Structure 1
Amino acid sequence: MTRPRNGGDLAVETLIALGARTAFGIPGQHALGLFDALQARPEVRFVSSRVENNAAFAADGHARLTGEVTPLLVSTGPGALLTLASLQESAAASAPVLCISSQVPTEGLGGARKGFLHELPDQPGVARGVVKSVHTVRRAAQIPSAIEAAWRSAAAAPAGPVWVEIPQDVLLAPAGVPEVAPGGVDGTPAPLRPRPELIEEAARLLDGARRPVVLAGGGVSRAGAQEALLRLAERLQAPVACTFGGKDAFPWEHPLSLQSWLEDRHTTDYLEAADVLLVVGSGLGELSSNYHTMAPRGRVVQIEADLGKLESNIPALAVHADAAAALEALAGKVAARERSARAEAEAAEVKAKVAARLAGQDLDTEQRVLAAVRDALPDGAPSYWDMTILAYWAWSAWDPRGGAVHSAQGTGGLGYGLPAALGAAAVHDGPVLAVSGDGGAMYGIAELATARQHDLDVTWLIVDDGGYGILREYMNGAFGRASHTELTRPDFTALASSFGVPAVRTTVERLADDLKSALAAPGPSVVVLPALLRMFAPTHRD
């Protein structure tokens, strides 16, 4: 049956014209016009999840890997609300997710008529506290412009999730306007360039520094500014530490690399001692500042795309700019220095102190497990980590080796690993690794059906320690005992097999080989490691 073009068609046409080729979500009663339109357009691959928050995590994982605005399509009320915890993570991580939510028919808006299924008194208002911008549609002809504006908002530095709301009857109403043509909409944001006088002053400070140091955050990675940072660091002979969200911002084994041991006072002390500390692409939040204990004694230059994060925690010369534009400008301004044996020796000394601290904590099993995972994952392959003890280790100790490293450390919610990895696998050519604990795994277990249905190449490592391991450690540390952290859980291998997903139960000794085999096999797989891992104890100021 051929039907007239409607608002749903306009929405899908606009997404295609803006460049969308993959979308995530779950159908719902008020959004059926949108999904019927999507069915008729094979240009967009739709990956259907089992729970809306997991669909939002999948869109987040896709957006982080590609840097592209990624559509998330959900229905009204419960469906929309379930995305919000995941979109909060996208906001913290600057992931450009474009959520299109349906709404009750327009006759039910504003309290004119009550009792619609899934009705919320103020659905856009609920979203406003989470997303970067909200765009409401009340007529079909408004759809292309609203989605175009939302796309531009999501992509503009700092990137982030946005919300478009379209009522059910508008999605089903006649389009009333011609088909959206390629090139008819443009979601390209204006570049966020630094002000010249700020670059001049930053270059003056850095050139005058005897011991410059760089702290590189996730903004460097998101901007694709790694090469510019490398040039600048080498010209300045400045050691570089990377935040947990910017682990691939600087080469891990470079002589000037301090790596990512930000929860260690040895690293914090070194950052504090710089006469000029360049912080780029980081708001110096809780984790990046070693829980707000870092107190630089020299000048700080902060380059940050999020205006609200500039000088929000530490006074600085504040440069509001995209990291790539600012680093390119600085690299062209500062004077080149001779290779500094002192700077390289200091970076090596910091790493040696960290290694010596770990060697005294009886953490051989934990380091063997992380090394086995690193050995098994091919260089360049992306990994997605849930909030679990092994992920906490990876924040500090994982060598990216050219692969994107993503976790839910922006807001710390459970359940991120598997669905985000599925989102990446929808576009990545090759294996993707997801890592969860048994507690976090239960949040996303239904997405094994998604993995199987769409034949996504994700290997899911579940470290089964019988409960919420990190919370167990926190409670034992704070109270001398843990409560409500122990969990009944399924036989994960049997459960995965029931979805048609190959699964193996492994040991610390077999982990590298079993994980390599799983990653080498196409399609989804599960590796379960029963192990009780411990966190390292960070050093603190005396």
Structure 2
Amino acid sequence: MSDARAENVERDVRNGGDLVVETLAALGAKTVFGIPGQHALGLFDALSRSELHFVSSRVENNSAFAADGYARATNEVGVLFLSTGPGALTSLAGLQEAYATGVPMIVIASQIPLDGLGARRKGMLHQLDDQKASAANVTKSQRLIQHASGIPSAIQDAWTEAVSSPQGPVWIEIPQNVLLDPVMVPQVEDALAEPFDNPPRVELVREAVRWLAESKRPVIVAGGGTRRGHAEAQLRSIAEKLRAPVVCSPGGNGAFPWTHPLSLQSWVEDRHVTEVLEEADVLVVVGSSLGEVTSNYFTLEPRGRIIQIDAEPRVLESNRPALGIRADAGQALEAIDTALTPELLSGHDSDWSGESPESVVAATLAKVMVRLDSQDLAKERQFMADIRAAVPDDMQTFWDMTISAYWGWSCWDARSGQFHSAQGAGGLGYGFPAAIGGAVGLSVQGKNSRVLAVSGDGSSMYSIAELATARQHNVPVTWLIVDDGGYGILREYMVGAFGKATHTELSRPDFVKLAESFGVPAKRVEVGEVRQALVEAFASEGPNVVVVETLLQMFAPTHL
């Protein structure tokens, strides 16, 4: 066959779907999550001509969680392919988590043919009046591509938006005919998507530095934006220059060394820690809204001035008046750190009623331990300690909205691994599919890919079908299911509020037999055996499940 004839054959099979996968690959994508659909067939057929690795989930919401977990574990963009209508809508709860937490994702959703959009004259399967409007609350922006020639630029623009702070998912939908029709557009050879610069304003940095240089009792709250902005080194430098205690929010867990003398760890739901924040004359809040959890359920009443740094302008001063600095956390903290010179801080001194900041931190953590000692929580504390002891320092962990995760928000030492939970939006079912995505991403990067997912029996049923995904792709994920017979945290809330729980108890399967029916090894252990069971599971190949039947209780934070 002549070269000209070969070129014609190649051109005949290329369509809009090819432009999608070619652009994604040029931008650096390696893996795609999703489920095929009728209007997306052109998109999925193009995958057969691409080097992109596809991971097929069983429920679209779990595909979204998996793309989210991939992005968090790898610091890359998660990519999600969705079918029209029900498939697109089913993903929205997962996208809400990514949007609330600032996870960069590209969402490609199919659409009915262009000539039927908005008309309802065809009564087509899956048709919605305005599909992209459904995604408006859970994505940064939404695009409808009407011509194949616009696909590369639209995806490149969306990628740029997704990785620009505040990061988040971006929605693109492409009609069926645009995906299927042959194209004259040449093969995509390169694409560039650099994040927009998001530096702090000079005058705001100058004012913040002045406040900090004059402060006597500075304290720092490190939220999730600190991690997203890769600002850990700058955070530590500023804290040590100012001798400022640092507490991490659940989303910021891991941003500051757990055992550092200035670390209040992540006990934001403890009244003793809240009191230290209230005592600060300058409270620096980085990448956090001081929302429900971080403010200890809005009991926090700061008496000093607040400096709030966040890339999302809607977050600034949303809960407290502050010197609001709209900027990427990494860029803002780097500017502040540079400006806090030894000469400027030569007269800086602490005034914690005669105590050093390090002593205040040590005394506060001791009070936290005394409070826990008084609440008969030995089983819960040992359980979390056993999980921590079993998990290698660099292992990534993914936690569902379960009592174990609520403990983890406060007591988990992330070390060099990362702690990921669904704390942004709080939907159930996050842990296992996100862990699948994380493990897949780490494998692609050639890193230690074994990850841990932790769920309750209630939340695990949201994602139980993904056992098939884990088995099909032989994903190295260990799933710890803590079975307490119901929605444990809701049971505890209702008993606390009303003296009894209503409709929180659940009939559930034999999780061991169910996992084994998928071809996934599983074992049931006693609560005191969890450490050894996890160590053994981590040494195995592919997916596995550990089930612990126990009733855990939450600690009381001693609200005033």
Which residue, 244, 265, 270 being the options, matches 2:271?
A: 265
Q: Which residue of 2 aligns with 1:24?
A: 33
Establish whether residue 249 from structure 1 lines up as the match of residue 255 from structure 2: yes
Q: Which residue of 1 aligns with 2:396?
A: 382
Q: State the AA in 2 paired with 1:93.
A: T
Tell me how far 1:420 sits from its aligned partner.
0.2
Tell me, in whole angstroms, the C-alpha distance in 2 between the residues paired with 1:287 and 1:167. Answer: 42
1:9 touches 1:175 (CA, 8 Å); kept in 2? no
Q: Which residue of 2 aligns with 1:469?
A: 488
Tell me, in whole angstroms, the C-alpha distance in 1 between the residues paired with 2:183 and 2:279. Answer: 62
- 1:233-260 deviation per Cα after TM superposition (whole angstroms, max 9, x unaligned): 1011101000000001100000000011
Q: Which residue of 1 aligns with 2:541?
A: 522
- 1:404-453 deviation per Cα after TM superposition (whole angstroms, max 9, x unaligned): 10111111110000000000000222310000000001010100010011
TM-score, with structure 2 as normaliser: 0.94
- 1:94-139 deviation per Cα after TM superposition (whole angstroms, max 9, x unaligned): 0111110000011210216231000001101111122111011011
Where 1:241 maps in the other structure, the secondary structure is strand
1:20 touches 1:71 (CA, 8 Å); kept in 2? yes
- 1:466-504 deviation per Cα after TM superposition (whole angstroms, max 9, x unaligned): 011011101111111111111111110111111111101
Tell me, in whole angstroms, the C-alpha distance in 1 between the residues paired with 2:84 and 2:391. Answer: 39
Where 2:23 maps in the other structure, the secondary structure is helix
Tell me, in whole angstroms, the C-alpha distance in 2 between the residues paired with 1:510 and 1:354. Answer: 27
Q: Which residue of 2 aligns with 1:82?
A: 90
Tell me, in whole angstroms, the C-alpha distance in 2 between the residues paired with 1:293 and 1:38. Answer: 52
1:368 touches 1:508 (CA, 8 Å); kept in 2? no
Which residue, 436, 439, 445 being the options, matches 2:464?
A: 445
Where 1:163 maps in the other structure, the secondary structure is strand
Which residue, 66, 70, 80 being the options, matches 2:74?
A: 66
Tell me, in whole angstroms, the C-alpha distance in 2 between the residues paired with 1:427 and 1:59. Answer: 9
Q: Which residue of 2 aligns with 1:154?
A: 162
Where 1:258 maps in the other structure, the secondary structure is coil
Tell me, in whole angstroms, the C-alpha distance in 1 between the residues paired with 2:48 and 2:501. Answer: 50
- Runs (4+) of structure 1 exceeding 2 A deviation are 1-4, 335-341
Establish whether residue 221 from structure 1 lines up as the match of residue 240 from structure 2: no
Q: Which residue of 1 aligns with 2:445?
A: none
1:131 touches 1:160 (CA, 8 Å); kept in 2? yes
How many residue pairs match? The answer is 538
Identify unmatched segments of 5+ residues in structure 2. 1-8, 443-447
Where 1:128 maps in the other structure, the secondary structure is coil
- 1:484-537 deviation per Cα after TM superposition (whole angstroms, max 9, x unaligned): 111111110111111111101011221100111001112101000000000111
Q: State the AA in 2 paired with 1:68.
A: E
Which residue, 403, 414, 426 being the options, matches 1:400?
A: 414
Establish whether residue 124 from structure 1 lines up as the match of residue 143 from structure 2: no
Where 2:118 maps in the other structure, the secondary structure is helix
Tell me, in whole angstroms, the C-alpha distance in 1 between the residues paired with 2:376 and 2:61. Answer: 38
Tell me how far 1:173 sits from its aligned partner.
1.1
Q: State the AA in 2 paired with 1:116.
A: M
1:467 touches 1:486 (CA, 8 Å); kept in 2? yes
2:216 touches 2:349 (CA, 8 Å); kept in 1? no
Establish whether residue 348 from structure 1 lines up as the match of residue 362 from structure 2: yes
1:30 touches 1:167 (CA, 8 Å); kept in 2? yes
2:440 touches 2:449 (CA, 8 Å); kept in 1? no
Where 1:329 maps in the other structure, the secondary structure is helix
C-alpha RMSD over aligned residues = 1.3
TM-score, with structure 1 as normaliser: 0.98
Matches within 5 A, 1:48-447: 48-111=56-119, 113-182=121-190, 185-336=191-342, 342-428=356-442, 429-447=448-466
Matches within 5 A, 1:445-524: 445-524=464-543
Tell me, in whole angstroms, the C-alpha distance in 1 between the residues paired with 2:449 and 2:65. Answer: 20
Tell me how far 1:285 sits from its aligned partner.
1.5
2:299 touches 2:559 (CA, 8 Å); kept in 1? no
Tell me how far 1:59 sits from its aligned partner.
0.3
2:162 touches 2:168 (CA, 8 Å); kept in 1? yes
1:12 touches 1:38 (CA, 8 Å); kept in 2? yes
Percent of aligned positions that are identical = 59
Q: State the AA in 1 paired with 2:391.
A: L
- 1:356-407 deviation per Cα after TM superposition (whole angstroms, max 9, x unaligned): 1000000000011101110111001000000100110000011111111011
Deviation larger for 480-489 or 327-336 = 327-336
Tell me, in whole angstroms, the C-alpha distance in 2 between the residues paired with 1:210 and 1:50. Answer: 55
Identify unmatched segments of 5+ residues in structure 1. none
